[in-house]
Structure 1
Amino acid sequence: MVDTRKVGVLGGGQLGRMLIEAANRLNIQVNVLDVDKSPAKQISSHDGHISGSFKDAAAVKKLAESSDVVTVEIEHVDVGMLEEVSSQVAVEPSWKTLKIIKDKYAQKGYLESHGVQVAESIDLEGKGVEGLKEVGSKFGYPYMLKSKTEAYDGRGNFVVKSEGDIEAAQKALGDRPLYAERWADFRMELAVMVVKTKDGVLTFPTVETIHEDSICKLTYAPPRNVSPEITARAQELAKKAIGAFEGKGVFGVEMFLLKDDTLLINEIAPRPHNSGHYTIEACPLSQYDAHLRAILDLPIPESGLRLREPAIMLNILGGQTTDSHVQIAKKALESPNASIHLYGKGDARPGRKMGHLTVTAPTLAAAEKEIQPLIDVVDQQKGKAVTPSPASSSPEPLVAVIIGSDSDLPVLKAGLDILTKLQVPFTTRITSAHRTPDWLREYSKAAGTANGLRVIIGAAGGAAHLPGMCASWTTLPVIGVPVKATHLDGVDSLYSMTQMPRGEPVATVGINNSTNAALLAVRILGATDLEVRERLRVWMEGNEKEVLRKDQKLLEEGYQTYLKSMGK
């Protein structure tokens, strides 16, 4: 047992279930307060669980008495009781934090007071229809009408598209405490899982989230077509937001990336979150591992929060039949890189979270290709018409081959043939270091953020600045191929590539040796892609057999006959 302290959890749904899966590996006892046979209790057999509601004061007190640390898997809890028991048991995160975050309007105001950018909001409690009209006059349409409390997965939200929607909005949410939020014209939704410890604030990578009917459907790690600068800013914004709150644990931070690349915090969850499920397979430590370690003050190596390889998470929501989630899971069993999580909730209902799938792959493009059939099944189970994806003319390239002039292309043919034979997708572009410097810079910078590219091969003759300049603008490995030009037999190009200054490496092969450049690129890919490595191994075995065959022929025929067969 790593830690003898007992963790009490208010709520026994799927988040509690996955928290227990992490705790079980460390032999840490988790006491759950929820109804009998809740998803979390199904996988944990001991007599420390409490049967009842996580909003019941007496039950919360009983849980606190049997635990050393109390945490939540849902923020809609009896905060007053948590305040009361906090003098006897550690409550993480702090009850003060839960009190602020569970009221979304108070949450926005608190963040704004700490210099964190959020969408402008207006309190509407008690203002009725006239208040909704005033918001339309101030914010314009559309705007978001939201319940301050008890709102999640789109429940408690209403998009007011015009004044004509106000009556329907009042009818839908009028009995709740309301506020309005200025519409955020975003191009993408991002999320960051943040870990607050006794020593500071850490983050998992930034991810992209896709919502459907206000429920997270897909999570892409890393985000598609987002620069490293933006993902870093998202992490810093998330750290700033969570740094303003008291207590320890994992927090889910959802944000908008606006069309001008501005970032706004949308909502914060003081617990593990749907957008962090991908961490179970894609990171050394999952968000559940991190939450346990944070609230128990156990070590959390920052490198354990890194992304090991790209991943896509797909939520399994209840469809038109009670077994829709089972049918989706059966289909996922056919996918070699899909990890299946079913939550033990019994019969499916439309929109109910029944489980999730995570596909990991060496590239995000490969993960997208593998998960698309599963997305189609999910949509079919929901009764949506599925439009077949257009057949891709070629897979996403892993290698970019850039040349300064089309006259260099014949030198590259041998290497391109190797890539083709080993089934490594590549793209070939012309971009001169001297004649199109801006285009080279643009391409090199973009290559580092592209979904699939992993290696760049740059071929050039003469001064041969192409691969060196490319290397200064990209984080990808660059392999230089010196091309034999009219003068100096390519030695000038060889020297140019090998004499790069410290900090800007270019792996340089022999003059005109595009074969070795291609094979080096394949070996770089093979370090993380076992399929590529296996194809390379088979190809190398073929070379060995061919050499041995020639050796046997030379031995049997003698050198003179052998030379004649060679036409010499």
Structure 2
Amino acid sequence: MDDRKVGVLGGGQLGRMLNEAANRYNIRVNVLDTAASPAKQISAHDGHIEGSFKEAEAVRKLAQASDVLTVEIEHVDTDMLEEVSKDVEVEPHWRTLRIIKDKFAQKKHLMDHGVAVAESRDVAGADEEAFKDVGKDFGYPYMLKSKTEAYDGRGNFVVKSEDDITKARKTLGNRPLYAERWANFRMELAVMVVKTKDGVLTFPTVETIHEDNICKLTYAPPRKVSKETAAKAQELAKKAIGAFEGKGVFGVEMFLLKDGTLLVNEIAPRPHNSGHYTIEACPLSQYDAHLRAILDLPIPELGLRLREPAIMLNILGGWTPDSHIQVAKKAVEVPNASIHLYGKGDARPGRKMGHITLTAPTMAAAEREIQPLIDAVDTQKGKSLEAKETPKDEPLVAVIMGSDSDLPVLRAGLQILEKLQIPFTTRITSAHRTPDWLREFSKSASDTSVRVIIGAAGGAAHLPGMCASWTQLPVIGLPVKATHLDGVDSLYSMTQMPRGEPVATVGINNSTNAALLAVRILGATDLEIRERLRVWMEGNEKEVLRKDRELLEAGWQSYLEGMGK
């Protein structure tokens, strides 16, 4: 597909997954790292370079064997990259890598470009009084961070009080340090950004959960975050990466503060842990996107979309050398789980040994299926398990009615939804008495887990029609027989919708068909629901055949008498 050779500084798990993507495109990747590094284990050719990505001569050899250089770790020799950039393309730009690898320089660069970050102060080489002054100005707690060579919480220290200062300095040693004002965040978010020769694109916003300063879980999409906030996070990430030179994938970690403000925390100039979910959950993975970006291959924006909810769980090393294998064996039993092991040998506590991505039609289903695997990781780490509330199924169907007097008509349909295990919600909202509430509900429905709306109404029956005009979701109208006109007025109102505002209408009082139509709509994209419907329909067929046999054997008169009992 492309005969250019890509040289990668670093051969860890990110390089391994980049190699996996490159293999599908028949793109050769030359890896600079130790002989048995994870990336080299799955790529057999003689173009790999053995050595350290911090050694100038090794970098020079990699450059000579490659057409484009990129990184899977930012802690590289940027002086050497500057030198070889005269002969080979370096992506992202060596100046970008030089800035980002120094986290204080990174923060200053972002601030200079108007990107919101937490306030920071340089304390490299400062005495203890300077650290106390930070506490007076920033308040406690505040973060003390190493400018360089810091990842997964290594090189960070939370200074909770003045008494912690001596311990913090001793723990961090002679590292060049900076202090950062504490961000009182509600949640940590992340966005994978793709910078190309033509512009900046983003994958969806995700929620990240950290434990012991290491990313443990990624939720896509983020839970309890509005679409507006998720979109703002994407725009902030695009602005941040737009401030840097070069092409490729960047990971942007950020804080969502309790007041709704977003702050960029850190940037990775490469594929990132928070983007692993893209391998299964998006048409293009972050690794596909990185290769395409640095080689100027097309990246359709729709290729970065989320197909369905996903949760990524890091398999972190436990107390036994095979702890990751034990977790993987359990994951093999979960049908929707995809397992990635990194080929790192024996596990060590906290070491990233692999990850699992689980996709499902709803986030609640994904949470329910992945919980035993989270428990397995925690067990291998020696963590005591706490009783957890089983996540409630998010409603796929919303059943709305103009009045509670419609509820008896809806009973049969609601029983069908329960029988077929379709989670639903029931609400009362009148098109005439509560028009503002109906509008609010209808306009926000597509931002929730709801996929189909059933609207029951009698009389003028404007409820489903008005709902359909405010949502892109399919709306099923259920005409209810009212006191006058036997429900025909409701039927006409729903079926005679103007062009451009369709309402799928069932028979008068026929809530059974409304429910079954909703199930069929869901089953078009959910095979499990379709299978449950098939089994139910098969049961109906058996029941009809049973009655036919009884009628044939008893004769019509006896059968009719039996029906009257």
For Structure 1 versus Structure 2, the TM-score category normalised by the shorter chain is over 0.9
Could you report, residue by residue, the CA deviation over 1:3-31 in whole angstroms, capped at 9, with x for unpaired residues? Answer: 11111000000000000011111121110
2:404 corresponding residue in structure 1: 406
Conserved 8 A contact 1:10-1:74: yes
Counterpart of 1:379 in structure 2: which amino acid? Answer: D
Conserved 8 A contact 1:50-1:62: yes
Q: d(CA) in 1 for partners of 2:323 and 2:515?
A: 47
Q: Per the alignment, do residues 391 and 266 of structure 1 end up closer, same or farther by CA in structure 2, a change over 3 Å counting?
A: closer
2:416 corresponding residue in structure 1: 418
Structure 1 residue 381, shift from structure 2 partner:
1.1
Conserved 8 A contact 1:193-1:251: yes
1:531 is aligned, of 528, 531, 541, to: 528
Conserved 8 A contact 1:207-1:219: yes
Counterpart of 1:458 in structure 2: which amino acid? Answer: G
Q: d(CA) in 2 for partners of 1:499 and 1:211?
A: 54
**Quick check: 499-508 or 94-103, which moved more?**
499-508
- 1:254 and 2:243 matched: no
Q: Which runs of 5+ in 1 are unaligned?
A: none
Counterpart of 1:519 in structure 2: which amino acid? Answer: L
Conserved 8 A contact 1:17-1:40: yes
**Quick check: 66-75 or 135-144, which moved more?**
135-144
Q: Per the alignment, do residues 363 and 515 of structure 1 end up closer, same or farther by CA in structure 2, a change over 3 Å counting?
A: same
Query: Which SS does the other structure have where 2:59 is aligned?
Result: helix
Could you report, residue by residue, the CA deviation over 1:475-523 in whole angstroms, capped at 9, with x for unpaired residues? Answer: 4333221212112322332343345556554333222221121011101
**If the length of structure 1 is used for normalisation, what is the TM-score?**
0.95
Conserved 8 A contact 1:132-1:166: yes
Q: d(CA) in 2 for partners of 1:40 and 1:376?
A: 29
Could you report, residue by residue, the CA deviation over 1:182-227 in whole angstroms, capped at 9, with x for unpaired residues? Answer: 1111111111111111111111111110011111100001110111
Counterpart of 2:512 in structure 1: which amino acid? Answer: T
Q: Per the alignment, do residues 391 and 360 of structure 1 end up closer, same or farther by CA in structure 2, a change over 3 Å counting?
A: closer
Q: Per the alignment, do residues 292 and 413 of structure 1 end up closer, same or farther by CA in structure 2, a change over 3 Å counting?
A: same
Could you report, residue by residue, the CA deviation over 1:324-375 in whole angstroms, capped at 9, with x for unpaired residues? Answer: 1111111111111111111111111111111111111111110000000111
Q: d(CA) in 1 for partners of 2:64 and 2:271?
A: 24
Structure 1 residue 319, shift from structure 2 partner:
0.9
Counterpart of 2:528 in structure 1: which amino acid? Answer: E
**Quick check: 540-549 or 28-37, which moved more?**
540-549
Q: d(CA) in 2 for partners of 1:227 and 1:447?
A: 12
Counterpart of 1:522 in structure 2: which amino acid? Answer: V
Conserved 8 A contact 2:4-2:28: yes
Query: Which SS does the other structure have where 2:131 is aligned?
Result: helix
Conserved 8 A contact 1:35-1:53: yes
2:288 corresponding residue in structure 1: 289
**Quick check: 283-292 or 475-484, which moved more?**
475-484
Could you report, residue by residue, the CA deviation over 1:405-446 in whole angstroms, capped at 9, with x for unpaired residues? Answer: 221011111111211222222222333334444544554455
- 1:432 and 2:444 matched: no
Conserved 8 A contact 1:226-1:449: no
2:447 is aligned, of 446, 449, 459, to: 449
Counterpart of 1:512 in structure 2: which amino acid? Answer: N
1:241 corresponding residue in structure 2: 240
Q: d(CA) in 1 for partners of 2:388 and 2:136?
A: 43
1:144 corresponding residue in structure 2: 143
Query: Which SS does the other structure have where 2:244 is aligned?
Result: coil
2:456 is aligned, of 459, 474, 480, to: 459
Structure 1 residue 463, shift from structure 2 partner:
3.0
2:10 corresponding residue in structure 1: 11
Structure 1 residue 391, shift from structure 2 partner:
5.0
Structure 1 residue 455, shift from structure 2 partner:
2.1
Could you report, residue by residue, the CA deviation over 1:501-557 in whole angstroms, capped at 9, with x for unpaired residues? Answer: 565543332222211210111012112211110111122233334445555666777
Q: d(CA) in 1 for partners of 2:105 and 2:494?
A: 59
Q: d(CA) in 2 for partners of 1:97 and 1:183?
A: 26
Query: Which SS does the other structure have where 2:74 is aligned?
Result: coil
2:268 corresponding residue in structure 1: 269
Conserved 8 A contact 2:368-2:390: no
Q: d(CA) in 2 for partners of 1:475 and 1:187?
A: 31
Query: Which SS does the other structure have where 2:447 is aligned?
Result: coil
Conserved 8 A contact 1:272-1:287: yes
Counterpart of 2:508 in structure 1: which amino acid? Answer: I
Query: Which SS does the other structure have where 1:97 is aligned?
Result: helix
Q: Per the alignment, do residues 371 and 343 of structure 1 end up closer, same or farther by CA in structure 2, a change over 3 Å counting?
A: same
**Quick check: 557-566 or 39-48, which moved more?**
557-566
Conserved 8 A contact 1:281-1:358: yes
1:26 corresponding residue in structure 2: 25
Spell out the pairing of 1:106-145 with structure 2 (5 A cutoff): 106-145=105-144
Q: Per the alignment, do residues 79 and 351 of structure 1 end up closer, same or farther by CA in structure 2, a change over 3 Å counting?
A: same
Query: For the aligned residues, what is the CA RMSD?
Result: 2.1
2:348 corresponding residue in structure 1: 349
Q: Per the alignment, do residues 180 and 501 of structure 1 end up closer, same or farther by CA in structure 2, a change over 3 Å counting?
A: farther
Q: Per the alignment, do residues 256 and 497 of structure 1 end up closer, same or farther by CA in structure 2, a change over 3 Å counting?
A: farther
Pairs aligned (count): 565
Spell out the pairing of 1:173-252 with structure 2 (5 A cutoff): 173-252=172-251
Q: Per the alignment, do residues 445 and 146 of structure 1 end up closer, same or farther by CA in structure 2, a change over 3 Å counting?
A: farther
1:493 is aligned, of 458, 468, 490, to: 490
Structure 1 residue 389, shift from structure 2 partner:
1.9
Q: d(CA) in 1 for partners of 2:153 and 2:333?
A: 32
Query: Which SS does the other structure have where 1:255 is aligned?
Result: strand
1:93 corresponding residue in structure 2: 92
Q: Per the alignment, do residues 227 and 500 of structure 1 end up closer, same or farther by CA in structure 2, a change over 3 Å counting?
A: farther
1:105 corresponding residue in structure 2: 104
1:543 corresponding residue in structure 2: 540
Could you report, residue by residue, the CA deviation over 1:91-134 in whole angstroms, capped at 9, with x for unpaired residues? Answer: 11110111111111111111122221111111222223222112
Query: Which SS does the other structure have where 1:54 is aligned?
Result: coil
Counterpart of 2:368 in structure 1: which amino acid? Answer: K
Query: Which SS does the other structure have where 1:516 is aligned?
Result: helix
2:67 corresponding residue in structure 1: 68
